[in-house]
Homo-oligomer: A and B are copies of this chain.
Amino acid sequence: MIKEGDVVTLWIDPKRVYLIKVKPGKKFSTDKGAIELDKIIGLEYGSEVSLSTGHKGYLLQPSLVDIYNGLRRPSQVLYPKDIAYMIYTSGIKPGDTVLEAGTGSGFLTISLAYYLGEKGKVITYDVREDMQEIAKKNVEYLNLSNRVVFKLKDIRTGFDETNVDAVFLDMPDPWNAAKAAYEALKPSGTVVVFVPTTNQIEKTAIALKNNNFIDIHAEELIIREYQLKENAIRPKNIGVIHTGYIIRGRKSLKSGS
């Protein structure tokens, strides 16, 4: 049941999908009509609602894809396809503690907090206070603040934590953070790195190897969405053809290291 303070997805049609924070007395407007938020409190998720114009909409529990589309983000954020694979291959599970650098607009932060659940913890670092303020607001908006710790610090000189379950790096020079990631991780823990260029793949892979990471892999994912018109199934013509590369490695306790 929808209650005050919830974040709700209003789905009108494929091009009109909105995130709404439910506050009494407020109204949410779209080019297809408005909806008074008082009226949706107490409704069941999935419900059909009529906008002021008579158009229909549906109230849904926000998925991470809705959040991806609806989030305030001054900088480019990681794509769902990449985050999904980064989380899956990181070996993390509900209740774990993970590190992230940099915070950016906070979409990976939110995805991690979502996955780790109520007992999980994301400690996220950035060097830019202005960016982290936006991420903080995004996390608060989604009622996830109790799972996230924000820190302003250049982690290339070291994280504050040790023995964490995984480290996620989305920064320009992750090779300069390989040592810091190694020291912060529990043995057997995974570092997952996202980089946009092939030059960064090379530098990152070398740095991970030199810092006693093993099982190092670099992969890229290409996604194509299909047009679902009857008798005319095909991928959409124009879209994102490149985001970046995902590199991961696991901390080994090499003898002599």
A118 lies within 8 A of chain B by Cβ: yes
A80 lies within 8 A of chain B by Cβ: yes
CA A143 – CA B231 in complex, angstroms? 40
Residues 209-251 of A contacting B (Cβ, < 8 Å):
214-226, 228, 230-245, 250-251
**0/1 interface trace, chain A 57-82, chain B, CB 8 Å (1 if under):** 01111011100000000000000110
Residue in B198, B206, B241 whose CB lies within 8 Å of A239: B241
CA A220 – CA B223 in complex, angstroms? 6
**Contact A228/B241 with A47-B187, A118-B94, A253-B47 known, Cβ cut-off 8 Å:** no
CA A189 – CA B61 in complex, angstroms? 8
**Contact A88/B80 with A48-B254, A221-B221 known, Cβ cut-off 8 Å:** yes
A33 lies within 8 A of chain B by Cβ: no
A154 lies within 8 A of chain B by Cβ: no
A91 and B61 contacting across the interface, CB-CB below 8 Å: yes
Residues of B within 8 A of A231 (CB): 197, 199, 202
CA A255 – CA B65 in complex, angstroms? 25
Residues of B within 8 A of A11 (CB): 214-215, 250, 252
Residue in B93, B117, B221, B236 whose CB lies within 8 Å of A95: B117
Residue in B14, B56, B115 whose CB lies within 8 Å of A115: B115
Range for the number of chain A residues in contact with chain B = 35 or more
**Contact A60/B198 with A87-B88, A251-B46 known, Cβ cut-off 8 Å:** no
Copies of this chain assembled into the complex: 4
**0/1 interface trace, chain A 81-109, chain B, CB 8 Å (1 if under):** 10111011111011100000000000000
A161 lies within 8 A of chain B by Cβ: no
Residue in B93, B188, B214, B223 whose CB lies within 8 Å of A114: B93
B89 and A84 contacting across the interface, CB-CB below 8 Å: yes
**0/1 interface trace, chain A 182-202, chain B, CB 8 Å (1 if under):** 000011111000001111011
Residues 135-154 of A contacting B (Cβ, < 8 Å):
none
A45 lies within 8 A of chain B by Cβ: yes
Residue in B48, B190, B234, B244 whose CB lies within 8 Å of A198: B234
CA A88 – CA B88 in complex, angstroms? 9
CA A236 – CA B33 in complex, angstroms? 38
Further contacts, 6 of them, CB under 8 A, given A94-B118, A94-B120, A219-B226:
A58-B214, A58-B252, A64-B89, A219-B223, A224-B241, A235-B241
The 4 closest A-B pairs by CB, nearest first: A46-B187, A94-B117, A84-B88, A94-B94
